[in-house]
Homo-oligomer: A and B are copies of this chain.
């Protein structure tokens, strides 16, 4: 019996909110690995906010997906055929094979996970790209000192949860902002945040004030919009803003900015946009440290696992409405 591949293709560049009709599910022939390439059967697909930028008609930081192309995305899976001597059938690998059941990639773009300490899906979350993003932004860019206050939006999301827990490991006060009482309770009770503000409760600015009696020294920015506006007045002199995402903005057609640049001057604020893939040289150290903290129970994680590739578009849309709770992952088999 001939096996077929299944893929999610981009059907249209969305303007404004992403819709299911922006995607198309298609059967396609099984890909064949060329010289130095590996065929992987994907087991888990990661769904992440950055993907919104890749399908926008506007310029983003990386090459976009064209209409008719397979959606980009991080994956873990198992090698089923290999023309690269470094990979054997049965090896578990981390890669970026996209929204499809099978994919082919150069061996050198894959990372072997055969001696992985953690469940495979965690290498898409707390021990993968989102965890590394938190690690770089907090530890390499913002450089927290014990006693400082670190605030982060989307606090129970894949990045935010690691930011808060890393902040606690550095001796900081960790303040989260999240949507709804359930997520806030989880941030405080399970993840160990000192406080978590529910941005849906209707008192965002006042609640942020109350949660940050010493002001904010580091605001890890992955949200933007009204959360940013509530946080800015609380920033202390010499505060740092690592900026790795603006999820509240990704589906809007009107860009939002910073209302008052003078605050950045008067308070000598350091704002640094960054993308974790710009610094591949720090990934091995970051992943090694994160694996250690996760194995030791110092960093906890939570996943929302969606079953089946065909449900990926709907789950992806929910990501921008805060429907997931923890790292959003699609189980492919």
Contact = CB atoms under 8 A, between A and B. Distances in A.
Interface stretch (A36-44, A153-161, A195-203, A263-271): A263-271
Nearest to A270: B272
B255 A61 contact: no
A261 interface: yes
B268 A270 contact: no
A257 interface: yes
B271 A264 contact: yes
A260 B255 CA distance: 5
Given A257-B257, A257-B259, A267 B61 contact: yes
A243 B268 CA distance: 8
A266 B224 contact: no
A243 B266 contact: no
A63 to B, nearest CB: 12
A278 interface: yes
B266 A53 contact: yes
A162 to B, nearest CB: 19
Nearest to A261: B257
Contact of A243 (B228, B246, B256, B261): B261
Give the bracket for the number of chain A residues in contact with chain B. Answer: 20 to 34
A59 interface: yes
A249 B273 contact: no
A262 B246 contact: yes
Given A270-B272, A271-B270, A255 B264 contact: no
Contact of A268 (B59, B228, B266, B275): B275
A24 to B, nearest CB: 27
A258 interface: yes
A245 interface: yes
Nearest to A224: B261
Contacts of A249: 261-262
Interface string A258-297: 1111101111111111110010000000000000000000
A114 interface: no
A5 B113 CA distance: 79
B246 A261 contact: yes
A244 interface: yes
Given A261-B246, A262-B249, A265-B61, A273 B270 contact: yes
Nearest to A271: B271
A111 interface: no
Most-contacted residue by chain B among A61, A244, A260, A273 (CB, 10 A): A273
A74 B258 CA distance: 32
Contacts of A256: 260-261
A188 B206 CA distance: 51
21 contacts: A61-B237, A61-B265, A224-B261, A228-B261, A243-B261, A243-B264, A246-B261, A246-B262, A246-B265, A255-B260, A255-B262, A256-B261, A257-B257, A257-B258, A258-B261, A264-B271, A268-B274, A268-B278, A269-B272, A271-B271, A271-B272
Interface of A: 53, 59-61, 224, 228, 237, 243-246, 249, 255-262, 264-275, 278
